[in-house]
Amino acid sequence: MRTQKSLIYFILLVAGILILVNVISENWFARLDFTEDNRYTLSDATKNIVEDIPEPVTVKAYFSEDVPQSVRKVKSDFKDLLEEYAAISHGMLVFEFINPSEDEKIEQEAMQSGIQPILINQREKDQVKQQKAYLGAVIEMGDKMDVIPVIQPGAAMEYALSKSLKKVSISDKPVVGLLQGHGEPSLAAMQQARAELQIMYDLQEVTLNDTVNELEKYESVAIVAPKDSFPQSHLQQLSNYLDNGGNLLIAINRVQGNLQQGSGESISTGLESWLADYGVQVSNNFVIDASCGNVQVRQNNGAFSFSTVVDFPYLPVINHFEDHPVTTGLESTILPFASPLAYTGDTTIHYVALAKSSDNSGTAPASTVFNIEKRWNKNDFPEKGLVVAAALEGQFGKTAKARMVVIGDGDFIVNGEGRGAQQLQADNVSLFVNAMDWLADDTGLIALRTKGVTDRPLDQLEDGQKAFLKYLNFLLPLILIVVYGIIRAQQRKFRRIKRMQPGYVK
């Protein structure tokens, strides 16, 4: 009887502990995150955005139910993320999951909100068929609404959700300008950068007037790839703006390459002389780098014609970044036909070399003819760590502190227009938008924009390293199994010998 009562008391005690743990976990929980970039840990930027929500927010997540396991995991991860957002919002964020596939009216509602179905492959009875599925969300706050058409797995979830929350909660957007009038590309030619910047800023094109200073109302101004000369009056307006605390991003083309003509040349707009007055020297040489992009070369062999991909060192791939808000999380950018920078100013201005070329790099003169078929070797790259982007902060004039970011290439952020438009890699866009964020007083999304972005190109490894990694992945599990088997066999052999000894007692 006593044993039975003790068992009942023990069961009640365990049940009570479990109930208490569940009650506590409703408000307090912890997660161990061993990923390199803390992919499953909410960033400080997200916490600040959620805690600053001015009024209640509703998240409607439209997810189809009958989908493959890989897609169901996206839903599970997004639900976990929303639960963490809700927990730190103190009741200001609520969410619900809706299955559009079960009701035609709900499906129409999702599509009208901007969530379009995607096609996924599903295997059934040795056959692969395509299935329509919804993986999107609508974020609503008052009369404001934003849509995430497709929820991407991984850290991109946090960035997409926090970006939407910031977009619906922000009231007065800072005004930033894109300078025009000197051959610069328009906003229409910078689609990816424009899409990112318009979330947080009122982005406007600005043309300087010879008599009126048009720059005073802008938190920051970007000057991208000018081709024509700057009048002295315009340069003076830039000086007045910077001296009075204005912030500038200057992505300058000091050299220009033309692949169709196979030649390069120098560009002079007067902006390079203006930068030199502030201690930033932009060389009129090309940066060449063994770590580079490639181009296609058309070759003829009798009646046949084919394309060959060859490395082109005039398209340096930059992956050496200083620890700075502008370069947070960046891994690889490509700066086509870039020029090196050097700082000759004094120590009153805080200067940071944001990005550098690889340890196998060098320079080539501006006036040159490109030899696409040239076989490059290490002797062609005698230099290392050439600066291609820099940040400056301090009092440039006599009145206020200001910031300036200078990048030795202007084409890295230009998509182009019409049929000539091309998709830029994500880190190119992040470099530009991060710089604008830093100049216009960080919106909090710098840390999120590049969180979880990883680029581990195998083509940059030596052949020996590639072979080592390949055989390591193949052989390591087999070696571990063999080692485990040997250890187990030795243990069993030791036990048999021990049992055979006189006086053995189990």
**With contact defined as beta carbons under 8 Å apart, do 354 and 326 qualify?**
yes
- pLDDT for 488 equals 83
DSSP 456: -
Rounded-to-integer distance, Cα 252 and Cα 462, Å:
34
Give the SS3 label for residue 370. Answer: coil
- pLDDT for 191 equals 95
* 316 CB neighbour count, 10 Å cutoff: 28
HEC string for 138-201: EEEECCEEEEECCCCCCCHHHHHHHHHHHHHHCCCCCEEEEEECCCCCCHHHCHHHHHHHHHHC
Give the SS3 label for residue 55. Answer: coil
Look up the pTM and report it: 0.74
Strand 320-321 relative to strand 387-394, pairing: unpaired
Q: What is the mean pLDDT of the chain?
A: 85
- pLDDT for 102 equals 82
DSSP 281: E
**For residue 335, which of 396, 412, 399 has the smallest C-alpha distance?**
412
**With contact defined as beta carbons under 8 Å apart, do 158 and 42 qualify?**
yes
- pLDDT for 25 equals 61
Residue 248 burial (10 A CB sphere; 0-12, 13-18, 19+): buried
Can you state the percent helix, strand and coil of the chain, rounding each to 5? 35, 25, 35
Rounded-to-integer distance, Cα 327 and Cα 96, Å:
36
- pLDDT for 26 equals 57
**With contact defined as beta carbons under 8 Å apart, do 370 and 264 qualify?**
yes
- pLDDT for 41 equals 73
DSSP 411: G
Query: What are the tokens at 349?
Result: 């201005």
**With contact defined as beta carbons under 8 Å apart, do 102 and 67 qualify?**
no
Segments of the chain with pLDDT less than 70: 1-5, 23-40, 122-128, 153-155, 211-212, 299-306, 441-464, 466, 503-506
Whole-number CA gyration radius for the chain: 29
